[in-house]
Structure 1
Amino acid sequence: MTDRLSTGTRAGYAMGSLATGAFGTVPGLLLLPYLTDTLGVGAAVAGLLVLLPKAWDVLVNPFAGRISDRTVSRWGPRRPYVLFGGIGLAVAFAALFAAPTPPGAAAAGYVAVAFLVTATAFAFFQVPYVAMPAEITDDYTERTRLMTWRVAVLAVAILVSGAVAPMIVNTTGGGVAGHRWMGLFVAAVIAVGAVATFVGTRRTRADRVTETEPSLRAQLSTARRNRPFMVLTTVFVIQTIGIATMLAGVKYMADHVLGRPGDGPTLLFACFVGPALLVMPLWSRLGRRLGKRAALSVASTLFALGALGLLVAWFAPPAVVYAVTAVIGVGYAGQQVFAMAMLPDCIADDADRTGKRQAGVFTGLWTAGETLGLALGPGVFALVLTLSGYVSSATGEAAAQPDAARLGVLIGFSVVPALLVGPVTLLLRRYGLDDTARAARTGSTTRTE
C-alpha cells in the first residue's frame, strides 16, 4: 500500500463528495418545504415523511458495510458499490422530486416510498466510500490531507446543489414542475461524482482481504469496544442533527424572518458554505498544530456561538445575518474536516490492534448515525414549526405566518442548532486516541506539501 497518495488519487476520491454533498444537502434543504408548501402536507406529517425513510438507513448501513467488507472483486471491495450504488442513487433522486399531480395524499405517499428507495441506494454508495481512506493509506497525516480535499469538494457540492437547486425550482416555474427539473440537475451531479471516484481511485490498493468478524453481532460488539470510535460517532451524530436542523430552516428563515423568498435561500446557503473554500487550508494547519481533537472542539464552539448570534436576525438587516452565517460556515468547515479525518484513525487503530479488516462495519455504523442525524434535523425543525403554529400551503408558495410561527422559525434556525452542536464537544475529553502517539505508531510525519 502506498502511504503518500498522488494528487490525482486525492482528487478522484474527493469527487465522491459531489454525491454525498448533494444528497446530504438538497433533501434537507428542500424536501420539508416541498411537502409543506407545495404538496400541502402538515408540518408534523411532513417531518415524519422525511424522518422515517432515512431512519430505515440505520438498519441498512451496517448491512451495506458488512457486505462490502466481504466483497472480493478485481475492482476491490469498495469501488463496485461506489459506481453502481452511485448510479442507482442518481436515478432514484430524480424520481424523488417527480411526484404525481395533483398534490395530496397520493403524492405524499409517493415521496415517502421514493425517499426510502433513494436512502437505500445512498447507503450502498456512502458506506463503502467512507471506508476507503482507512485502506488506501496508512499515513496518519495523509488522511487529513485526503479529508481536506474531500471536504473542499464537499463544500463545492453543497454550495452548487444547495444554492443552485432553489434557483432551478424558481426559474422553471416552481411547484411540482420546478422540483422535477431540480431533481434531474442534482441527479446529474450525483452521477458525475460516483463515476469520477470510481475512475480516480483505480490505481489505489484498496483491495486487501484480511480476516473480519464472522457475524454482524460480533462486528457490532467490536465497534462498541472501540471507545474512540463510539465517542467520536456520538459527537458527530448529535452535531449532525444540529446542522441538519439549521439546513431544514434555510428556506423558512429566508421567507418568514428575512422577508427575502427570492434570493434569500441562495444567499444564506452561499454564506454558509462559501467560507469553507477559503478556510480549509487554515483548518488543516490548525489541526497539525493543535491536534485533530482540539481543532474539532474549536470549530464546534465557533459554530455554536455563531448560531446563537443569529438571534439578531429578528431586528437586524439581512446583510448582518449573512455575515454571521459566514462565521458559522467557517466552524462547519472545521467540523467536517476533523470528524472525517478522525474516523479513519479510529478504524486504523482497530486494525492495528486486531489485525482484522472491519472498515465497512465502522463506516456502516458511522453513516447510519449520520443519516439518522440528517433525518432527525428536519424532524426537529418540523416539531418547532408545529409547536409554533406554522400554516402549511398547497399553492407552491408559503402562506403568511403569525408572529409566533416566525419566532419559531428563528429559534429552530439558531438556538436549537447551537445547543446541539456546542455542549456535546465536552465528550471529546473521553476520545482517548492521542494524536502524537498515533502518528508516531503509524510512522506519519507532519511535513506539508
Structure 2
Amino acid sequence: MTASAVRPPRKTLSLPTKLFYGFGTVAFGVKDQGFSYLLLIFYNQVIGLPAHLVGLVIMIAMIFDAISDPLIGQVSDNWRSKWGRRHPFMYAAALPVAITYGLLWNPPELSQTGMFFYLLAVAVMIRTFITLYEIPSTALAAELTTDYDERTKVLSYRYFFAWWGGLTMVLLAFQVFLRPSAEYPVGQLNRDGYVTYGLAAAGIMLFAILVSAIGTHRHIPDLVTPPRRKLTFGQVLKEMAGTLSNRSFLVLIMAGLFNAMAGGLTLSLNLYFNTYFWELSAAEISLFAIGNFISAALAFGLAAPLSKRMGKKGAAQLAKIAAFFIGAAPITLRLLGVFPDNGEPIVVPLLFLQTTLSTGLSITAAILIASMIADVVEDSELKTGRRSEGLFFAAASFVNKAVSGIGIFASSMILLAIAFPQNAQPGQVPDEVIFDLGLFYVPLLGLLYAAAVAFVAFYAITRDKHEASVRQLAAEAGADGIETPGPQ
C-alpha cells in the first residue's frame, strides 16, 4: 500500500477556519437556489421556452457533469503545486462562475431553437465552472479534520452558508428585483428583474469564492500532498473505478441521488405551487424564503447533536422520514378537501410552519449524508492506499446538481403530463389541472424519499469503525516514517 505523504493534521478546527471554509458555499447556494426556484419559471413563463425543453437542457447538461465531475475530482486528488491540491482550482473558478451565471439570466432575443441552444451552452458552462470550485472546496472537509463529529460540524457550516447565501438572493429577487410594475403586474414574470438579479448574484458568487479560498489558504502547508506517480489513462480509469466501488460509498450515492431528486422536485415546483396551487402573492412567497433561513439554522443546530446521539445513519433516516410527512401534509389535506381554502388567514401561517420544519429536516439529512461520505475516505484509503476526497465529493457534487437536473426534468414532465398552460395567470388555471399537480407530486415525492431512506440502511461505517480506521492509518503512517502533525 502507498501511504499518503501527510496525514490530515487536525481533529478540531478554529471558528475562523470553519467560517471561511463554509462561506465559499454561498456561491453554490446562489446557483443552486437560482436553478431550483427561478430557472424553470423564467425560461418557461417569461422567455417562452416550453417546460419540457428546459428540462431537456438540464438533463443534457448533467451528461457533461457526469464526465467533468469525476475528472476534476481525480485531477484534484493528484494535483501537486505550491498552493496544494485544492486551492489552484478554487481560485481559477471564481471569475468564470460569475460571468456565466450573469449570462444565464440575460439571454438575447432568439428563436425557440436558438434559445434552446443558448440555454444549453450557458448551463453546461456554469455547471462545469461551479464544479471546478465546489469539488476541491468540498474535499477540504475530509482533509482539515479526521474526527467523526467535527466533520459533521464543519459540513454544517458549509450547508448553513449555502442555504443562507442562496436564500438571501431568492429573498432579494422577490423583494427587490422581481417587484410588480406597470409592464409586469405579476412580479414573478418581470423579465427586467431577472437581468438585474443575475448581475447581483454573479458579483456575490465571485466575492464568496475568493473570500473562502483566501481565508483557508494558510492551511495549505498542513494538507495532504500526494506522492509523485506516472499513470497511464487506463490506470487512472482503473483506479477511479476501484475507488468508487466502495460499498458504503455506493449506497450513499444512491441515497443521495434520490434525496437530491426529491429536493429538486420540491424546489423547482415550489413556485408553481405557491403561485397557482395556493395563489399566494410575491410578498407572501417571500415569507417562506425567510422561513428557510430558520430551516438552515435549525439544521445547523440539529445535525451534530443528532449524529453524536444516534450515529449519522440513524439520524439521517429519521430526518428524511419526518421531512416527507411534514412536507406533504398540506397538499395531501387539500386534495382530500380538508385544508382551509385559499385566502383564509390561517393558510399562510400553516404553510410557513410546514415549509420551515420540512426544509430544516431535509437539510439536516443532507449534512449527515455528506459527513458520511467524508468518513468513507479513510475506509477507502485502507483498501486502496489512496486518499480520494476529491473523487468521492465529485460524485457527491454530481448528486447535488441533480437538485437542479433530474428534479427540474421530473417537474417539467409533470407540467407536460397535466397540460399546465404557458403564460398562465393565478386563479385562471383549470381546477382539474391544479388538482392533478398535487396528485402527481405527492406520490412521486414519497417514492423518492422512501428509496433514499432504504439505501442509507446499507451504510456500514459506524463511529467505532471510523475511529479504528483512523488509528490504523496513523499507525501505518508512523511505520512508514511519515510525520503526523498533532491536533492544533
Q: Structure 2-normalised TM-score? A: 0.84
| Structure 2 residue 89 is the aligned partner of structure 1 residue 59 | no
Alpha-carbon contact 2:378-2:469 (below 8 Å) kept: no
Q: CA deviation at 1:418?
A: 3.0
Q: Which residue of 1 aligns with 2:226?
A: 209
| Structure 2 residue 13 is the aligned partner of structure 1 residue 5 | yes
Q: Which residue of 2 aligns with 1:30?
A: 38
Q: Which residue of 2 aligns with 1:244?
A: 264
Within a 5 Å distance, the mapping from 1:310-325 to structure 2 comes to 310-311=330-331, 312-313=333-334, 315-316=339-340, 317-325=347-355
1:211–1:274 CA distance, 2 compared to 1 (3 A): farther
1:437–1:332 CA distance, 2 compared to 1 (3 A): same
Letter of the aligned partner of 1:390 in structure 2? F
Q: Which residue of 2 aligns with 1:447?
A: none
Aligned residue for 1:2, secondary structure, equals coil
Letter of the aligned partner of 1:152 in structure 2? F
Q: Which residue of 1 aligns with 2:485?
A: none
Alpha-carbon contact 2:276-2:427 (below 8 Å) kept: no
Q: Which residue of 1 aligns with 2:193?
A: 178
Alpha-carbon contact 1:385-1:408 (below 8 Å) kept: no
Within a 5 Å distance, the mapping from 1:76-91 to structure 2 comes to 76-91=84-99
Q: CA deviation at 1:280?
A: 2.1
Alpha-carbon contact 1:210-1:357 (below 8 Å) kept: no
Q: CA deviation at 1:415?
A: 3.8
**Whole-angstrom CA distance in 2 between matches of 1:75 and 1:90:** 23
**Whole-angstrom CA distance in 2 between matches of 1:149 and 1:40:** 38
1:213–1:344 CA distance, 2 compared to 1 (3 A): farther
Letter of the aligned partner of 2:470 in structure 1? T
Q: CA deviation at 1:377?
A: 0.2
Q: Which moved more, 1:58-67 or 1:397-406?
A: 397-406
Q: Which moved more, 1:41-50 or 1:403-412?
A: 403-412
Q: 1:426 aligns with which of 417, 441, 454?
A: 454
**Whole-angstrom CA distance in 2 between matches of 1:54 and 1:270:** 30
Letter of the aligned partner of 2:11 in structure 1? D
**Whole-angstrom CA distance in 2 between matches of 1:56 and 1:66:** 16
Q: CA deviation at 1:104?
A: 4.2
1:233–1:54 CA distance, 2 compared to 1 (3 A): same
Q: Which residue of 1 aligns with 2:387?
A: 357
Alpha-carbon contact 1:43-1:390 (below 8 Å) kept: no
Q: 1:164 aligns with which of 166, 172, 177?
A: 172
Q: Which moved more, 1:60-69 or 1:201-210?
A: 201-210
**Whole-angstrom CA distance in 2 between matches of 1:46 and 1:63:** 26
**Whole-angstrom CA distance in 2 between matches of 1:329 and 1:273:** 10
Give RMSD over aligned pairs: 2.4
1:194–1:413 CA distance, 2 compared to 1 (3 A): farther
1:423–1:120 CA distance, 2 compared to 1 (3 A): closer
**Whole-angstrom CA distance in 1 between matches of 2:390 and 2:427:** 45
1:66–1:423 CA distance, 2 compared to 1 (3 A): closer
Q: CA deviation at 1:291?
A: 0.3
Aligned residue for 1:268, secondary structure, equals helix
**Whole-angstrom CA distance in 2 between matches of 1:413 and 1:87:** 38
| Structure 2 residue 223 is the aligned partner of structure 1 residue 223 | no
**Whole-angstrom CA distance in 2 between matches of 1:409 and 1:271:** 24
Please list every run of 5 or more consecutive structure 2 residues that lacks an aligned counterpart in the other structure. 1-8, 182-188, 341-346, 473-488
Instruction: State which structure, 1 or 2, has the greater radius of gyration over its C-alpha atoms.
Output: 2
| Structure 2 residue 154 is the aligned partner of structure 1 residue 139 | no
Within a 5 Å distance, the mapping from 1:142-157 to structure 2 comes to 142-157=150-165
User: Number of residue pairs matched?
Assistant: 442
Letter of the aligned partner of 1:338 in structure 2? L
Q: 1:343 aligns with which of 370, 373, 385?
A: 373
Alpha-carbon contact 1:252-1:409 (below 8 Å) kept: no
Q: Which residue of 1 aligns with 2:3?
A: none
**Whole-angstrom CA distance in 2 between matches of 1:213 and 1:166:** 52
**Whole-angstrom CA distance in 1 between matches of 2:427 and 2:68:** 37
What whole-Å deviation, never above 9, does each CA across 1:196-248 have from its counterpart, x for those lacking one? 11012112223422477943421332134311111111101111000011000
**Whole-angstrom CA distance in 2 between matches of 1:320 and 1:342:** 33
| Structure 2 residue 118 is the aligned partner of structure 1 residue 110 | yes
1:432–1:279 CA distance, 2 compared to 1 (3 A): closer
Q: CA deviation at 1:367?
A: 1.6
Q: Which residue of 2 aligns with 1:328?
A: 358
| Structure 2 residue 213 is the aligned partner of structure 1 residue 198 | yes
Alpha-carbon contact 1:62-1:364 (below 8 Å) kept: yes
| Structure 2 residue 398 is the aligned partner of structure 1 residue 368 | yes
| Structure 2 residue 253 is the aligned partner of structure 1 residue 253 | no
Alpha-carbon contact 1:211-1:357 (below 8 Å) kept: no
Alpha-carbon contact 1:90-1:191 (below 8 Å) kept: yes
Q: CA deviation at 1:11?
A: 0.9
Q: 2:413 aligns with which of 372, 375, 383?
A: 383
**Whole-angstrom CA distance in 1 between matches of 2:459 and 2:197:** 41
Aligned residue for 1:442, secondary structure, equals helix
Q: CA deviation at 1:373?
A: 4.5
**Whole-angstrom CA distance in 2 between matches of 1:88 and 1:431:** 37
What whole-Å deviation, never above 9, does each CA across 1:72-113 have from its counterpart, x for those lacking one? 111111111112213311111011111113674433432221
Q: Which residue of 1 aligns with 2:301?
A: 281
What whole-Å deviation, never above 9, does each CA across 1:320-349 have from its counterpart, x for those lacking one? 222211220221121122011111101122
**Whole-angstrom CA distance in 2 between matches of 1:326 and 1:2:** 35
**Whole-angstrom CA distance in 1 between matches of 2:334 and 2:204:** 33
Please list every run of 5 or more consecutive structure 1 residues that lacks an aligned counterpart in the other structure. 445-449
Q: CA deviation at 1:398?
A: 6.8
1:279–1:110 CA distance, 2 compared to 1 (3 A): closer
Letter of the aligned partner of 2:457 in structure 1? R
**Whole-angstrom CA distance in 1 between matches of 2:107 and 2:325:** 39
Q: Which residue of 1 aligns with 2:479?
A: none
Q: CA deviation at 1:381?
A: 0.8
**Whole-angstrom CA distance in 2 between matches of 1:261 and 1:409:** 19
**Whole-angstrom CA distance in 2 between matches of 1:121 and 1:17:** 14
Alpha-carbon contact 1:211-1:356 (below 8 Å) kept: no
Letter of the aligned partner of 1:66 in structure 2? Q
Q: CA deviation at 1:409?
A: 3.2
